[in-house]
Chains A and B, each alone.
Chain A
Amino acid sequence: MRKFLIPLLGLLSLAAGCGDRESPVADADETGGSARGDFGPPQGEPIKAVLTSPPQVPPPTGRSAPAKVIVELEVIEKEMAISEGATYTFWTFGGTVPGSFIRVRQGDTVEFHLMNAPDSKMPHNIDLHGVTGPGGGASSSFTAPGHRSRFTFKALNAGLYVYHCATAPVGMHVANGMYGLILVEPPEGLPAVDREYYVMQGDFYTTGRYRQKGLQPFDMEKAIDENPTYVLFNGSEGALTGDKALMAKTDENVRLYVGNGGPNLVSSFHVIGEIFDKVWFEGGTRFQENVQTTLIPAGGAAMMDFHIEVPGSYVLVDHSIFRAFNKGALAILKADGSENKAIYSGKEVDEMYIGDRALPNLAAVSEAAAAAQSGELTLQQQIEAGRVLFAGTCSTCHQPDGAGLAGVFPPLAKSDYIARNPKDVAAVILHGLAGKVTVNGHDYDSVMPPMTQLTNDEVANISTYVLNSWGNPGGRVTKAEAAIIRARTPPAAQAGEH
């Protein structure tokens, strides 16, 4: 009901409010922005802000009056893992990528201290998108190694804001991980949820390839070309998977604060298996409901809530999907709890579906089966049926042309192994083959599992097809022979005694 009212009211006020310069808030549903964000001087004693490392989020401020909040953030340049066995020299706000999460309330006066560690190579500064004022604090916080800067701002606009370093070369400072989020709570706070997490995407440019081991230097050319080696959540591949996966329980409400540091890419943020009940798109005041994927621009953020009904692993991805599976943009949220089959069943049916292809392809198989039944089966019918069955069962390893794969799967084409033991073809199909064999002068030492799922008809037809193809000696295996071979002791076991 309320939702439909908002645009209507907006229209009315637009039509009626042209001459009204007294109040910047023409609509009761507008927040009034920065012009209405100053709630007066700070009350009470200054408060030291709780800063958290990702993926944790500081607790709600829980305040009802503006306060003076002291934020102390240290810039640390340090080598950390970017992927397994690969490291990168990150430049960080607070020792992590992304930097520490800052949480204040609209109207708070923030006294910001930026410290640059004495062993830093570079000067740094900070531009907070939540600051009203030129540069967002950047020129007031330009800090040499071993120095500290201070500036103060009033947080006039509520929302979720990115902060980042803006020292030359800006792109390189951002590419090295210098970004994080500051949440400016609206005066009434945000709706309570069971869990809150902090996730931030960034793109990284290394001279080495994706997952190349060792210390990987920054690659300026790739950065300018906007061709990242890695696209990551929270600064390293595996930052939020395995033991470090985000945890939740069924029946809980989860809120993600998701930022995108860039420097270059825009994120199509999506959680596989969930639908966002609410997205405060662009980190602003309004929310959209029932969202699959939300766009998070570089230098932007969004908040999203979802309720978990079903246990399991939910995968956070940038749905520009090659980034997820080939550049690392993947995180896991693991939900524990009891199954709810009424909402999601899990797999109920797993059977073959061959669609239209059943008719022309498997026709040869059914024809051969019928002919075998009536005792009129010809060699050609067997070969045709065998060809189709071979393609479905055997060609993945032995290849459609019977050539095999060098060193792994022995060839069946012009095979001296088959020429020596043509009767063994059906036996190998039914009992498998393990251990060393020599085929056409090459040694193979793999395992072929027994294909006992095939019927005697099918074994006979495949064997006959193989014997009559690719320069093999020819011959024929009948259903009755296949049945006898099936009952026999496997040849692989005899050969495998040594």
Chain B
Amino acid sequence: MKTAAACCLAVIAGTAASAAPAPGDWVSIPGGTFKSALRYEDLPAGSRVAPYALLQSPVTNGEYLEFVRAHPEWRRDRVPVALAEARYLSHWQSAASPGPGTMTDQPVTWVSWFAASAYCEAQGARLPNWQEWEFAAAADATRTDARADPAWRERILAWYSRPSNEPLPRTGASPANVYGVRDLHGLVWEWVDDSSALLVSADDREQGSADRQRFCGAGALSMDDRDNYAILMRVAMLSSLGAADATGNLGFRCARDEL
């Protein structure tokens, strides 16, 4: 019943039909009612996502370098380990430069949640929250909510199933979704603002009797759409990380409220 509702409720009026924006550009997303794959017990009919804007592609090494130059306290040799673990930006040639080649076009990885948040703040923006990220990521090239389509799920899952042992492609190379956003699937995992509240549980099978004290109520979250393995995997990945942690396949993009 509830899963069936998920595909019908998120019908959005009007779609962004503008020309493809350049990397680093903002894409407007109209928002609307959204039924998350996670179960929010206080919002059985879905939640309201206010209009917002999202970076068209994940932040690149090149863009992040500019940030580090302007805010040297975020150099890997200066940042406190409480805010970014030892491997923060460890793929760069030096603390001040990613090194030669195409890396500037690749999404930045090995960034902590604190660092990603600081980057977005410096742009007058913020990290998208889980709902905003999922709202945009539910779309494919022609539909605002493709989540119920088995073929679409299969495509996303295929990337999730692969290890991250190949060089990352550059950003912006994948086709835009119906809003004009790119790379939400198939490039890197992405931080969201409320990552730390996402923990369904470290042990998935404890759903329903989770450790509520430890996770400030987030343990009450459980899956409404248990067939949506892609979302389960995103939750699992973000859940496994602390805010100072970084991995070689986790990047981010920024969001801001639509003026």
State which of A139, A142, A146, A220 has its C-beta within 8 Å of the C-beta of B247: A146
| Chain A residues whose C-beta falls within 8 Å of the C-beta of B236 in the assembled complex | 122-123, 167-169
Known contacts A89-B161, A118-B248, A144-B247; decide if A139 and B154 are in contact (CB<8 Å): no
Q: How far is the CA of A350 from the CA of B132 in the complex (A)?
A: 75
Nearest Cβ distance between residue A268 and chain B, in whole angstroms?
A: 27
Chain A residues with CB under 8 Å of B229's CB are 169, 172, 220
Q: Is the CB of B233 within 8 A of A139?
A: no
**Contact A166/B249 with A172-B229, A217-B157, A221-B150 known, Cβ cut-off 8 Å:** no
- How distant is the Cα of A144 from the Cα of B163 in the complex, in angstroms? 13
CA of A176 to CA of B162 in the docked complex: distance in angstroms? Answer: 11
In this assembly, does A286 line the interface, its C-beta being within 8 Å of a C-beta of chain B?
no
Question: Are B154 and A220 in contact, CB atoms less than 8 angstroms apart?
Answer: yes
Q: How far is the CA of A123 from the CA of B248 in the complex (A)?
A: 13
A139 & B203 in contact (Cβ 8 Å cutoff): yes
Tell me, yes or no, whether A488 is within 8 Å of chain B by CB: no
Given A89-B161, A145-B247, A125:B227 Cβ within 8 A: no
Which of B165, B233, B235, B240 touches A144 (beta carbons < 8 Å)?
B240
B200 at the interface (CB under 8 A from A): yes
User: Measured between alpha carbons, how far is A122 from B249 in the docked complex, in Å?
Assistant: 10
Residues of chain B contacted by A356 (CB below 8 angstroms):
none
Q: B233-252 interface mask toward A, CB cutoff 8 Å, 1 = contact, 0 = none?
A: 10111011100010111000
Chain B residue at minimum C-beta to C-beta distance from A217: B158
For B204, the closest partner residue in chain A by CB is A168
Residue of A nearest to B229 (CB): A169
Contact residues on B (Cβ < 8 Å of other chain), bracket: 20 to 34
| Pairwise interchain contact A89-B163, C-beta atoms closer than 8 A | yes
Q: How far is the CA of A139 from the CA of B199 in the complex (A)?
A: 12
B232: chain A residues within 8 A (beta carbon): 168-169
Q: Does A123 lie within 8 Å of B237, measured CB to CB?
A: yes
Contact partner of A146 (CB less than 8 A), chosen from B158, B206, B248, is B248
B202 adjacent to chain A (CB < 8 Å):
yes
A144 touches B204 (CB 8 A): no
Contacts of A209 in B (CB 8 A): none
Determine the main DSSP class of A at the interface with B.
loop
Residue of B nearest to A88 (CB): B161
Q: How far is the CA of A135 from the CA of B227 in the complex (A)?
A: 23
> Would A145 and B164 be within 8 Å (CB), given that A122-B233, A220-B157 are in contact?
yes
- How distant is the Cα of A78 from the Cα of B161 in the complex, in angstroms? 10
Given A143-B240, A169-B233, decide whether A138 and B227 contact each other with a Cβ distance below 8 A: no
Question: In the complex, what distance in Å separates the CA atom of A230 from the CA atom of B188?
Answer: 31
A138 touches B205 (CB 8 A): yes
B87 within 8 A of A: yes
Question: At the interface, yes or no: B160 with Cβ under 8 Å from chain A?
Answer: yes
A138 x B202 contact (CB < 8 A): yes
Chain A neighbourhood of B233, CB < 8 A: 122, 168-169, 172
Contact check: which of B154, B203, B235 meets A217 at CB < 8 Å?
Answer: B154
| A147 beta carbon closer than 8 Å to chain B | yes
Interface residue B201 (Cβ < 8 Å from any Cβ of A): yes
Measured CA separation A118–B204 after assembly (Å):
22
Q: Which residues of B contact A142 (CB under 8 A)?
A: 202-203, 239-240
Per the bound structure, the CA–CA distance linking A144 and B232 in Å amounts to 15
Q: Which residues from chain B contact A119 at a C-beta distance below 8 Å?
A: 163-165, 248-249
CB distance from A216 to the nearest CB of B (A): 10
Interface centre among B204, B232, B235, B237 (most CB of A within 10 A): B204
- The answer to whether B153 has its CB under 8 Å from any CB of chain A is yes
Min C-beta distance of B189 to chain A, whole Å: 8
Q: Which residues of B contact A147 (CB under 8 A)?
A: 240, 245
Contact A168-B200, Cβ < 8 Å, known A89-B162, A145-B249: yes
Chain A neighbourhood of B87, CB < 8 A: 146
Q: Is the CB of A207 within 8 A of B154?
A: yes
Beyond A123-B236, A145-B247, A167-B240, 16 additional pairs, beta carbon < 8 A: A118-B248, A121-B161, A121-B162, A135-B206, A142-B203, A144-B237, A144-B245, A147-B240, A168-B232, A168-B233, A169-B232, A169-B233, A169-B236, A172-B229, A218-B157, A218-B158
| 29 sampled A-B residue pairs with Cβ under 8 A | A77-B162, A89-B161, A118-B248, A119-B163, A119-B165, A119-B249, A121-B249, A123-B237, A123-B239, A123-B240, A123-B241, A127-B203, A135-B206, A138-B202, A139-B202, A142-B239, A143-B240, A144-B241, A144-B245, A147-B240, A167-B240, A168-B235, A170-B205, A172-B229, A217-B158, A218-B158, A218-B161, A220-B154, A220-B229
